[in-house]
Amino acid sequence: MSMRAPVANLPIHFDDVSFAVHGVTILDRINFAFVPGAPSVVIGPNGAGKTTLLRLAMGLIQPTSGRATWGGRTDAPLSRRAIVFQRPVMLRRSVAANLRYALEAAGVSRADHDARLGELLALVGLAELGDRPARKLSGGEQQRLALARALAKDPQVLFLDEPTASLDPAATKAVEDLVRDVAARGIKVVMSTHDLGEARRLAGDVVLMHRGRIVEASDAAAFFNNPITDGARRFVAGELLI
């Protein structure tokens, strides 16, 4: 575990946050907070605004209006937050070299690289594949390597944008198990998916988005057993939100 002084990244609070590009509203007056605890799962159809919400919560883009805060601050550094994008890009190097690069970027001292490398490879189940070219890994293995790279930052909050989108059931299960491991270590996971089953399996709380708005946000049991809005009821029933 890291000895670095704690930085309060949570709660991540959105106060009337909107985000627009060239006058087109992509997120519309979001009032919501990600709080410590089990994974928060952002769910909704294509184009709902899930990725944009994650990018805002990570601090990669700024609200056009409204305010986003991390632990009450608008300027909390990104150093203890990490994000895995929908289509992670690997360096044209070995698995281990990709991880060493991430450790270097995270400011981990050279003396600690070997130990951390071993720990991260074991955590994501890639201990045997350290010497393989990263770009030759299967989709599921690449996703797990991307997770390990993100964990090199020793994050307090880990954002995962549709981490299982193109994976088969076995690879999906491996990533979902890893998400549970990471959450059990006390890391706050915020992930997006358009897979209702995945949300049921992993979520502590659910945020349903549609057309740039939050339709409903509640703890997972309430969301699935007793959805309040018509949109959430239809989504949980498996109808298409268009």
Ligand X SMILES: Nc1ncnc2c1ncn2[C@@H]1O[C@H](COP(=O)(O)OP(=O)(O)OP(=O)(O)O)[C@@H](O)[C@H]1O
Residues that bind ligand X in the complex, under the rule CB under 6 A: 21, 26, 44, 46-52, 194
| 226 exposure class (CB count in 10 Å sphere: 0-12, 13-18, 19+) | exposed
Give me the least distance between CB of 13 and Mg ion, in Å please: 22
CB nearer ligand X, residue 49 or residue 156: 49
Residue 81 C-beta: closest distance to ligand X, Å: 18
**Residue nearer to ligand X on the CB measure, 6 or 23:** 23
Q: How far apart are CA 105 and CA 145, in angstroms?
A: 16
* CB of 79 vs ligand X, minimal distance in Å: 24
Minimum CB separation of residue 48 from Mg ion in Å reads 8
26 binds, among Mg ion, ligand X, none (CB under 5 to 8 A by kind): ligand X
Contact of residue 52 among ligand X, Mg ion, none (CB under 5-8 Å per partner type): ligand X
As a whole number of angstroms, the distance between CA 126 and CA 212 comes to: 37
Nearest approach in angstroms of CB 120 to ligand X is 27
Residue 49 contact among Mg ion, ligand X, none, beta carbon within 5 to 8 Å by kind? ligand X
44 binds, among Mg ion, ligand X, none (CB under 5 to 8 A by kind): ligand X
Report the partner that residue 201 touches, choosing among ligand X, Mg ion, none (CB closer than 5 to 8 A by kind): none
- Answer with the entry of Mg ion, ligand X, none that 163 interacts with (C-beta below 5 to 8 A by kind): none
Q: Which is nearer to ligand X, 51 or 142 (CB)?
A: 51
Closer CB to ligand X, residue 65 or residue 226? 65
Task: Give the chain as a 3 state SS string.
Answer: CCCCCCCCCCCEEEEEEEEEECCEEEEEEEEEEECCCCCEEEECCCCCCHHHHHHHHHCCCCCCEEEEEECCECCCCHHHEEEECCCCCCCCCEHHHHHHHHHHHCCCCHHHHHHHHHHHHHHCCCHHHCCCEHHHCCHHHHHHHHHHHHHCCCCCEEEEECCCCCCCHHHHHHHHHHHHHHHHCCCEEEEEECCHHHHHHHCCEEEEEECCEEEEEEEHHHHHHCCCCHHHHHHHCCCCCC
Q: What angle do CA 121, 126, 131 make, to 5 degrees?
A: 90
Report in angstroms how near the CB of residue 161 gets to Mg ion at its nearest: 6
For ligand X, give the closer residue by CB, 87 or 233.
87
The residues binding Mg ion (CB under 5 A) are 50-51
Considering the complex, state which of residue 50 and residue 100 has its C-beta at the smaller distance from Mg ion: 50
Among residues 84 and 152, whose Cβ is nearest to ligand X? 84
As measured in angstroms, the least distance from the Cβ of 21 to Mg ion is 15
45: its two tokens:
């159809």
